[in-house]
Structure 1
Amino acid sequence: MATDDERKTYDPAGEVVDLCRELIRIDTSNYGDSSGPGERKAAEYVAGLLDDVGISSNIYESEPGRASLIARWGDGPGEPLLLHGHLDVVPAAAEDWQVDPFAGEIKDGYLWGRGAVDMKDFDAMALSVVRARARAGAQPDRPLVMCFTADEEAGGHKGAEFVIEEHADEIADCTEAVGEVGGFTTTVRGKRIYLIEAAEKGMAWMRLTARGQAGHGSMINRHNAVTELAGAVARIGAHQWPVRLTPAMEVLLASVADIAGTEATPENAEALVEEFESSARMLGAVIRNTANPTMLSAGYKVNVIPTEATAHVDGRFLPGHEDEFFETLAELCGEHVTWDFVSHQQPWETPYEGALVDAMTQSILAEDPDGIVAPYLMSGGTDAKHFRKLGMASYGFAPLRLPRDLDFGALFHGVDERVPVDALEFGARVFDRFLDQV
């Protein structure tokens, strides 16, 4: 464990900005198939960084170019802690951005680029801290296993899922895991709240199919596949899902209610979510199931009614509410529309308690004594869904102290993705303290 005096001999944040810039400059765009550049170049870059400080690693490919890396550091007692981050990013259309999304440009106090918040920031934090500690001989008391994965942005099937199926022996002794999308700030009535991810919605990426009678577009057709599909898509998109509070959100909303001088109930949950200012849109999605139509396909000629029409829907369901989600979806689709899964992954929730939670809380408050730390449920999905299959308790903890007016949720997969430079440095300092306490 590094004391405050010992910490002065190394700077955990010294490299974090440069490392994040270099990772952004390695294009690892994931198009959901094998057409992108893959993650191999980024994995080799990370391997070199670790090797430079005496930490060996292994790179595994699920198919050519789709590379994940695993490294182990420390020989102390106890069960290892898994630190996991993904190397791939969603694509970016450069013409929509203010800057080149793969240039790693620093502008207006922010580091811009695809992956700046999802999630090369966390990768850079972990690497900066581990490299600084390794050089200083400040191993954490608990062994660490670091896993940098491929394919998270397409469900993790060629990354984390491949790792747990083919190389579980390298990580199976880890009992707890820490990854992305937690520890960032939101603001309620001027107070900073650091949100620790303690749960995730389940994922149901679905292909809806309607089949009907093909025919000439000029004639009456009572069995038009496009009509049936369009009706189902419209009903799904317009459906108002009821509020459902899970344990993590009950704790978070209770914290907000305390600030607002009220009590948290399902009836005022939406009003309490609005207290989160720039984060309200993101957190509004985690007090209910959601289903958003995202793609449509049908036909090949304007005067031909096709036999088949398809749509894709991104469905997300709360822990404990999967049955309700699919029962409702069946009603909305109707009898003439069926679905199959592009990806179906279960939700999860970890109790917000214990030594690891205490370590996250104390490390944040050591750097920001005025902060409030609370759990939340994330609307998206991470590789934690796969690693939990090996029995690991999981949390999201990539600490960032953010400006009050920054809509952080909009930056995930968004145009002009960026992270404040001082937030990266703050996160590295917090993460260093965290490793002292785990």
Structure 2
Amino acid sequence: MKITESAVVELTWTLVERPSPNPPGGEGPVVDALVEYLEASPVEWTLEREELEPGRPNLVARAGNPEHGRLLLTGHTDVVPANADDWTGDPYELRRESDGPDGDRLVGRGVADMKGALAAKVVAAEAFLTGDDDSDSSADPGEVVLGFAIDEERGGPGTERIAEAVGDVDAAVVGEPTDLHVAIAQYGALDWELVVYGRESHSGRPDRGINAIDGLRCALNGVADLAEEVAAEDHPILEPGPTITVTEIEGGSAPHVVPGEARATVSWRTLPEGPEPENYDERMRAAVESGLVDAPPVEFELRRTLTVDAAGIDADHPLVRQTVAAAGEVGVESDVVGFNAGSDTRHLIPRGIPAVLFGPGTIEDDAHTVDESVAVSDLVATARVYERLLERYLLATDD
């Protein structure tokens, strides 16, 4: 069978119209639809459904000969919530619009992040495993492993479990929206809560108190110096490189009270292959202490509240070369890029599974947006790239 626009669009339609906003999750209906589709497929899939939480199942589908290689095409079935009042239509009723500069677009929550890519993976795998006039249908192909994971939007335990369940695979492709480019690296994220303690007094007698906001300001001056130091580092793919940003500030209890407590959230976007989190803790604490040298005599607490690992593979890795080549062979000009968001590759690469991101749509303009959309032509192109990559990996005809 061949990849057709109708096949990709229809499956995308089915998946988008099974809402799975996270929170709370509830990916079960999406998996039900995938199981129904795969059981009716001309490919004899082996299906493994695992309930990680009530109503929240992972799904792994396998077909092909693992002795001839194994490639994992994976992605998440949850989406971010949508406020229907902000949308021009029901977020979970997919619609097709024809007035875009790049042709028809599909509009619906999750179409770019990432139910469209999931549909493209399934259709591409079917086309590869059944063969068509352009492929060697007499070959004994390697194993295609399809992974459908829960809860990416809030941590990624679904993909952690899939990585354990599939074991030794040659490589993986995650369908995040990359605008049809090959994303090979993503930032990590470390957040801290910084709380500064002073002493309350009436604002008419500030000399009787110790102003915690003044102390916090001084502490954050030290953080700003560290941010400037960190910004001097660079990365060949990720731009602008590592950053430190103050994202929240809170302090004061009333207009005429010298504040006795003030707090801030500090977020550090880190590079792949960096040191252990404890090293960042030490540098952040030293920065706060340096800022407080000339501050009022306050005390502080610094607590790390988020730890997300960075992840990446080398630009010359065979998976990267193969994916770029596969894209070129179906007419897609694909560059090697970084990914300025989190993804489930952070649960694959540390386990020894090389992984890249490739999918339709963009993080900047499509994912998590009101009236989220993706170009139909890009969706079909994604399926064709996946199919060609499967041929290159699992028919052993290249490299």
Shorter-chain TM-score range: 0.7 to 0.9
Residue 364 (str. 1) matches residue 319 (str. 2) = no
Q: Distance in 1 between matches of 2:221 and 2:366?
A: 27
Q: Distance in 2 between matches of 1:297 and 1:140?
A: 62
**Paired residue for 2:82?**
92
Taking a change above 3 Å as real, the CA distance of residues 332 and 343 of structure 1, as seen in their structure-2 partners, is: same
Q: Distance in 2 between matches of 1:418 and 1:51?
A: 29
Describe how 1:136-151 pairs up with structure 2 within 5 A: 141-151=141-151
Residue 200 (str. 1) matches residue 163 (str. 2) = no
Deviation at 1:385?
Answer: 0.7
Q: Which structure has the greater CA radius of gyration? A: 2
Deviation at 1:331?
Answer: 5.3
Secondary structure, aligned partner of 2:368: coil
**Paired residue for 2:158?**
159
Percent of aligned positions with the same letter in both sequences? 27
Describe how 1:248-259 pairs up with structure 2 within 5 A: 249=237
Aligned residues: 368
**Paired residue for 1:380?**
341
Residue 104 (str. 1) matches residue 103 (str. 2) = no
8 Å CA contact retained: 1:12, 1:429: no
Q: Distance in 2 between matches of 1:297 and 1:22?
A: 44
**Paired residue for 2:32?**
44
TM-score by length of 2: 0.79
**Paired residue for 1:190?**
none
AA aligned opposite 2:171: E
Structure 1 gaps, min length 5: 1-8, 186-194, 250-282
TM-score by length of 1: 0.72
Q: 2:70 aligns with which of 63, 69, 80?
A: 80
TM-align CA RMSD: 3.3
Q: Distance in 2 between matches of 1:233 and 1:90?
A: 32
Deviation at 1:162?
Answer: 4.1
Q: 1:27 aligns with which of 9, 19, 31?
A: 19
Describe how 1:249-328 pairs up with structure 2 within 5 A: 249=237, 286-295=239-248, 308-321=261-274
Residue 389 (str. 1) matches residue 350 (str. 2) = yes
Deviations 1:191-240 (A, max 9, x none): xxxx3111121122443333444566776364444554566568868955
**Paired residue for 2:115?**
120
Secondary structure, aligned partner of 1:82: strand
Deviation at 1:160?
Answer: 2.0
Taking a change above 3 Å as real, the CA distance of residues 330 and 361 of structure 1, as seen in their structure-2 partners, is: same
Q: Distance in 2 between matches of 1:416 and 1:293?
A: 30
Q: Distance in 2 between matches of 1:304 and 1:26?
A: 52
Deviation at 1:356?
Answer: 2.8
Taking a change above 3 Å as real, the CA distance of residues 353 and 215 of structure 1, as seen in their structure-2 partners, is: same
Residue 55 (str. 1) matches residue 45 (str. 2) = yes
Structure 2 gaps, min length 5: 293-298, 394-399
**Paired residue for 1:350?**
313
Q: Distance in 1 between matches of 2:115 and 2:221?
A: 36
Deviations 1:379-409 (A, max 9, x none): 21211111223211111122x4x7xxxx752
AA aligned opposite 1:246: H
8 Å CA contact retained: 2:319, 2:354: no
Residue 172 (str. 1) matches residue 160 (str. 2) = no
Deviations 1:82-130 (A, max 9, x none): 2110111122222223333222122232111221221112111101222
**Paired residue for 1:253?**
none
**Paired residue for 2:295?**
none
Deviations 1:329-368 (A, max 9, x none): 4455455554433431322221223543333122211222
Secondary structure, aligned partner of 1:153: helix
Residue 426 (str. 1) matches residue 387 (str. 2) = no
Taking a change above 3 Å as real, the CA distance of residues 136 and 419 of structure 1, as seen in their structure-2 partners, is: same
Q: Distance in 1 between matches of 2:194 and 2:16?
A: 35
